Amino acid sequence: MIRPSTIGTRNLNRLTKLAQSIWIGVVLGSCSVLVNQFAFHPMRADADELGHLPAPVVDLDLTNPDGTRIHALYLQQKDRRQPLILYFHGNAGHVYHRLPYGRELFNRGYSVLMVEYRGYGRSTGKPSESGVYQDARTARQFLLQTEKWPAEQIVILGRSLGSAVAVDLAAEYPPAALILITPFASAYDVARQTGLGAFAWAARGAFDSAAKIASIQAPLLIIQGDRDQITPLPSARSLFAASPLPSNQKQFLLIPGAGHNDIVSVDAERYWATITGFIKQHSN
């Protein structure tokens, strides 16, 4: 019987470990691509949507450390006694589609910065989970360094996919308050609950807001509809439960009859009153 030499065995072990590393890299890379395909549905802004912004809306271009340019809409009040709302939109379209929500917040007395992720609208680059998190940090840095907004005067608001962006930013940089509209606990949780079955494993670890929210001490408001089939109600409730805040520091508003895209229109009066009341209660 011929036995492999010690050197041969060691080389075999090294080759085995190398093959395993390559396989893990391929799997993780494939998972990342798959998650990005499900998560991001950007649209470019066409000519009709450019250059026709009503006052006081201002177009901004901000530059990320990696050179990616992100576009934003800035609505600034002359009176800064009210907080500023840093707004992160959902996974489809572009920021111009969200302008009515920015105008509504502005009309209620708040300055608003609406961030457009890389690859969306007028922003350059290609969206990814780490990329949109960096976009959020660049927007916050602009507010603090260029616009001189105090950190304690910034309320972070995230809608749908934007809720994951908002949670990630708030976990690192505490805001005055955190508002999440139609949020979800994690990409895996959504994939599992919406029937992706065996493919849900590919989303493990992606957009894991439930893990991050445990460290956030800022007052929390979650708004969700009971007919949401995109980010199901149990996922939003799971995220709410993951927050360690006491009951007087967190609030869950359920809007009966509301789905994912009509969360505002089903009960607009209650929706906006809850947001403004929450900010007033928890702002300095």
Domain span at residue 187 reads 6-282
| Total number of domains in the chain | 1
pTM of the predicted model as reported, rounded to 2 decimal places: 0.86
pLDDT band at 200 (very low <50, low <70, confident <90, very high): low
Residue 68 lies in a domain: yes
Asked whether residue 1 is assigned to any structural domain, the reply reads no
What would the DSSP string read from start to end of the chain? -PPPPHHHHHHHHHHHHHHHHHHHHHHHHHHHHHHHHHH-EE----GGGSS-PPTTEEEEEEE-TTS-EEEEEEE--S--SSPEEEEE--SEE-GGGGHHHHHHHHHTT-EEEEEE-TTSTT--S---HHHHHHHHHHHHHIIIIIS---GGGEEEEEETHHHHHHHHHHHHS--SEEEEES--S-HHHHHHHTT-GGGGGGGTTTT-HHHHHTT--S-EEEEEETT-SSS-HHHHHHHHHH----GGGEEEEEETT--SS-TTGGGHHHHHHHHHHHHHHH--
145 assigned to some structural domain:
yes
Band (pLDDT 50/70/90 cuts) for residue 36 is low
Residue 120 lies in a domain: yes
Question: Any idea what the CATH number is for the domain that residue 114 is in?
Answer: 3.40.50.1820
Judge whether 245 lies within some domain.
yes
pLDDT digits (tens, 9 = 90+) for 89-106: 998 888 988 999 999 999
